Amino acid sequence: MSGELGERLGVSVYVVGGFVRDLLLGIDNLDVDLVVEGDGIAFARALAKENGGKLKAHERFGTAVVHLPDGFKLDVATARTEYYEYPTALPTVEQSSMKKDLYRRDFTINTLAVALRPRQFGQLIDFYGGQRDLKERLIRVLHSLSFVEDPTRVFRAIRFELRFNFQLSKETLALIKGAVKMELFHRLSGQRLLDELRLLFSERTPRHAVRRLSELDLLRFIHPKLTWSNRLDRRLIEVEAALDWYKLSCLDRPISGWLVYAMALAEAMPDQAVHDMLKRFPFADAERTALNEARFLTQPACRTLSRRAPPKPSETVRVLTGLSEECLVFLLAQSLTDSAKRQLSLFLTTYRNVKPALTGKELNALGLKPGPLYRTILARLTEARLDGEVKSEAEERALVK
């Protein structure tokens, strides 16, 4: 539909970047990036109107996002036309603006485009050897200033390398080493670097990402005191296992896996370094709180759970309630006794869902006046349930009386 609409508006439309790369790799990707040769915003506006979608336009950048009613999201960009080389020869002009647009991109594998215009529908456009590099499984920059223009691309390179199990091309690796030597990353804002690290540690193998960052001497740009060690590696293996278990056992609860890895990195750093890191990176409030919980509450919680006389379930609940999911998984990744591990996994899967059979309604029917007392009674009943003191509603009623 985009191609036909483009035809009617007299503009060429292409699907570009990650979507095409993943299509050729046989990987699902629902993020569609369109490039329009012509007025991208006018195109996006018409697209939204014809399909009952919502439009968000950024006039300054010539970009727009269209949310279609079926949940589909399309990013629309305008191929800059100020570079027209041969204003009179239309096909060359079109190619030229597209070629220049794609030249701004990071790696050859991200420069592939597919034409959507009816007459050229499905035609693959490959100016920079993207198909060859996909076949040879190589991450390759388009030009030698790519990392100078945007140092976050170094982290993107590692992300793609690990995600697809590709390799950095020889010259790309040399350029990364150059960027490290020139310390280009100090120029990056905390926000940009954090965004990139968040994405990197949201991939499937953050442990390998840490290893790779260390090999390329990049960990020091997170903090100079952050270094790779066998101990850190072991903790990352434990985090990986804990997250795998969590995802299988607590299906309905979303979790930011990357944050658990960040907790493991913070654990490997001296206090002052963590303090600096929290200052440099603009973590969201909840993330910051979770990182601090992991620093200050993990050890006391471990001690309680690992006590020789194991805590009652109600005590386990008291210690763990209120901690973020990420901190709980980080706890699970600590070297705990078997009994502590059991308590923690029971908390995650069972204890925290335990509720008494009686509710406020029944307490009212029992003649108790509504008020703060209800809360206390229900909390006490929950404890009694957890610790096996009561097993049925009748027993709960008896306890209340």
Alpha-carbon distance 178 to 182, whole Å? 6
Residues 100-159 that bind ligand CTP (CB under 6 A): 105-106, 110, 150, 152-153, 156
* Beta-ladder partners of 141: 107
Give me the least distance between CB of 152 and ligand CTP, in Å please: 5
Residues 283-322 that bind ligand CTP (CB under 6 A): none
CA distances, 224 to each of 270, 276, 283, 363, 392 (Å): 11, 10, 19, 59, 58
Alpha-carbon distance 298 to 278, whole Å? 18
- In contact, 147 and 122? CB cutoff 8 Å: no
Q: Which is nearer to ligand CTP, 15 or 290 (CB)?
A: 15
Determine the residue type at 135.
Answer: K
Q: Which is nearer to ligand CTP, 193 or 348 (CB)?
A: 193
Residues 60-99 that bind ligand CTP (CB under 6 A): none
Residues 324-383 that bind ligand CTP (CB under 6 A): none
Give me the least distance between CB of 33 and ligand CTP, in Å please: 6
Look up residue 76 and give its two tokens: 């629309």
- 163 three-state secondary structure: helix
Give me the least distance between CB of 163 and ligand CTP, in Å please: 8
Chosen residue from 2, 13, 14, 17 binding ligand CTP by CB under 6 A = 17
- In contact, 294 and 330? CB cutoff 8 Å: yes
Q: Which is nearer to ligand CTP, 153 or 207 (CB)?
A: 153
Place of tokens 């982290």: 155
Q: Among 300, 313, 318, which residue's Cα sits nearest to residue 339? A: 313
Q: Which is nearer to ligand CTP, 261 or 347 (CB)?
A: 261
Give me the least distance between CB of 215 and ligand CTP, in Å please: 21
Q: Which is nearer to ligand CTP, 28 or 271 (CB)?
A: 28
Phi-psi region of 10 (alpha: psi -120 to 50; beta: other; left: phi over 0): left
Residues 175-234 that bind ligand CTP (CB under 6 A): none
Give me the least distance between CB of 133 and ligand CTP, in Å please: 13
Chosen residue from 1, 8, 25, 31 binding ligand CTP by CB under 6 A = 31
Q: Do the strands 54-58 and 63-67 form a parallel or antiparallel pair, or are they unpaired?
A: antiparallel
Q: Which is nearer to ligand CTP, 110 or 316 (CB)?
A: 110
Give me the least distance between CB of 109 and ligand CTP, in Å please: 8
Q: Which is nearer to ligand CTP, 34 or 320 (CB)?
A: 34
Q: Which is nearer to ligand CTP, 150 or 389 (CB)?
A: 150
Q: How far is CA 146 from the centre of its chain?
A: 24
Give me the least distance between CB of 318 and ligand CTP, in Å please: 41
Produce one character per residue of 45-56: b if its CB has 16 or more CB atoms within 10 Å, e if not: bbbbeebebebe
Q: Which is nearer to ligand CTP, 138 or 232 (CB)?
A: 138
Radius of gyration of the chain (CA): 28
Chosen residue from 18, 129, 310, 311 binding ligand CTP by CB under 6 A = 18
Helix (H) or strand (E) holding 150: none
CA distances, 302 to each of 213, 291, 310, 324, 347 (Å): 30, 16, 11, 15, 14
Give me the least distance between CB of 150 and ligand CTP, in Å please: 5
CB-CB neighbours of 193 under 10 Å? 20
Give me the least distance between CB of 104 and ligand CTP, in Å please: 6
**Nearest position to ligand CTP, beta carbon:** 18
Give me the least distance between CB of 321 and ligand CTP, in Å please: 36
Count of residues that interact with ligand CTP, criterion CB under 6 A: 11
Alpha-carbon distance 369 to 168, whole Å? 70
Binding site for ligand CTP (CB under 6 A): 17-18, 31, 33, 105-106, 110, 150, 152-153, 156
